Amino acid sequence: MFPAAFDYLRAHSIEEAAAALSQHGGDARILAGGQSLIPAMRFRLARPTVLVDIGSLRDLVYLREESGFLRVGAMTTDARLERDKDVRARYALLTETSDVVADPVVRHKGTVVGSLCHNDPAGDWAAAALASRAIMVVRGPSGERDVPIDEFIVDSFTTAVQEGEIAVEVRFPTPSARTSGAYEKIERKVGDYATAAAAVQLTLADDGTIAQAGVAITALGPFAMRVTEAERLLLGQRPSEDLFRAAAEEAYRLADPNPDTRGSAEYKKNMARILVARGLARTSSKLHA
């Protein structure tokens, strides 16, 4: 299958890209990794008339720790993050997520920021970003703004990025030493979107109680969701099986999945409970190892 025709613009700067988006309005789309957009165009589910390619903006390719954040540029691929030694050493949740996004070849072209902007209801990065309290950096005609991931995710396939704006970076807070996380995903096979998935990140205080908790689920509602009630339950408590079970129950309560070829609503909802419980248990055991 072949996309409908479009005009192609290769941007040489973010400003140029933003200007092109402003000029062409809703008919224009940013082409970053293209791993969601191009298949959608081949099926003619997406028909942008203008593609603004930011692929040659090398200054958007970076992955570095700076002032308490892991800063990931808009053209940084999943594979780059997957392979980064520092990420693998200290960002447990991101590591586990990057191992199961799409498939290993697609990860060489797909980008983390692009996935967050695509905001598929079953996207993996959105859950990981929620659980780790990421911040999106969005640039537009009036400059740059930071958007917490909770505000960035607006609805299925809809984000806080406005016309003429471009998301240029995602920032993941650098975890403290006593932080770990886990990503639990049920997929029908490698390369599939999640049937259900859960992202978990916990930070322990010196006394062994939970100082920070991030719990998010994906493919279990119209978009990836933070399980606020679970996080509230976990805070200040000592990790225990009972505590995790109660937190997982909150994920079950929150989950409101659509039935589709990946599973019934009932199955997915039940898996929310299992996956959150497993993610919490594994995170806890990593912290106590």
Partner 1 sequence: MTKQRVELNVNGEIHEIQVEPRKLLAYALRDECGLTGTHVGCDSSSCGCCVVVLDGETPVKSCTMFAVQAEGHDITTVEGLAQGGQLHPLQQGFWDQHGLQCGYCTPGMLMTSYAMLKEYPEPTEEDVRKFLSGNLCRCTGYNNIVKAVLQAAKALGAEKSEPETTAADD
Partner 2 sequence: MSITPDPQKHALGVSMKRKEDPRFLQGKGRYVDDINLPGQLYMAIVHSPYPHAKINSIDKEPALAVPGVKAVITGEDLVAAGLGWLPTFHGFDKQMVLAVGKALFQYQEVAAVFATSREAAMDGAELVEIDYEPLDPVVSPHEAAKDEVVIRSDREKSTNHIYHWDVGHKDETQRALEAAEKVVKQRIVFQRCHPAPLEPCGCVAEFDTMGRLHFYVTSQAPHVYRTALALVTGIPEDKIHVVSPDIGGGFGNKVPVYPGYVCAVVGSLLLKKPVKWIETRTENLTTTGFARDYHMDVEIGAKADGTVTALRVKTVADHGAFDAAADPTKYPAGMFGIVTGSYQFPVAYAELDAYFTNKAPGGVAYRCSFRVTEASYAIERAMDILADELDMDPVELRKKNFVRKDQFPYQSALGFTYDSGDYHSTLDKALERIGYDDLLREQAEKRARGELMGIGFSTFTEVVGAGPSKHFDILGIKMFDSAEIRIHPTGSGVVRAGTKSQGQGHETTWAQIVAEELGLDPQNIMVEEGDTDTAPYGLGTYASRSTPVAGAAISLAARRIREKARKIAAHLLEASPEDVEWTDYKFQIKGVPTRSVTMKDVAFAAYTNPGDNEPGLEASYYYDPPNMTFPHGTYVAVVDVDRHTGETKVRRFLAVDDCGTVINPMVVEGQIHGGLTEGYAIAFMQEITYDESGNNLNPNFIDYLVPTSLEAPKWETDNTVTPSPHHPIGAKGVGESPNVGSPAAFVNAVMDALSPLGVRHVDMPLTREKVWRAIQEAEARRAISAD
Q: Give the x/- contact pattern for partner 2 in 95-114, rule: CB under 8 A.
A: --------x-----------
The nearer residue to partner 1, 33 or 279, going by C-beta atoms, is 33
What is the nearest approach in angstroms of partner 2 to the Cβ of residue 243? 18
The answer to whether the beta carbons of residues 106 and 128 sit under 8 Å apart is no
Among 89, 177, 190, 289, binds partner 2 (CB under 8 A): 190
Among 109, 178, 278, 286, binds partner 1 (CB under 8 A): 109
Distance CA 4, CA 225 (A): 34
The secondary element (H helix, E strand) that includes residue 106 is none
- Name residue, tokens 């997406």: 46
Distance CA 275, CA 23 (A): 45
Phi-psi region of 119 (alpha: psi -120 to 50; beta: other; left: phi over 0): left
Q: Which does 38 bind (CB under 5 to 8 A by kind): partner 1, partner 2, none?
A: partner 1
Tokens of 226: 């933070």
Q: Which does 102 bind (CB under 5 to 8 A by kind): partner 2, partner 1, none?
A: partner 1
Looking at residue 37, its amino acid is L
Size of the site for partner 2 (CB under 8 A): 22
Q: Give the x/- contact pattern for partner 2 in 246-285, rule: CB under 8 A.
A: ---------------x-xx--x--xx--x-----------
The nearer residue to partner 1, 27 or 256, going by C-beta atoms, is 27
Alpha-helix residue ranges (DSSP H) falling in the chain: 14-24, 37-42, 78-83, 85-90, 92-98, 112-118, 124-131, 149-152, 228-234, 241-254, 265-287
Which of these segments, 38-46, 126-134, 135-143, 201-209, binds partner 1 (CB under 8 A)? 38-46
- Return residues touching partner 1 (CB under 8 A): 1-8, 10, 31, 34-35, 38-39, 41-43, 51, 53, 55-56, 79, 83, 102-106, 108-109, 190-191
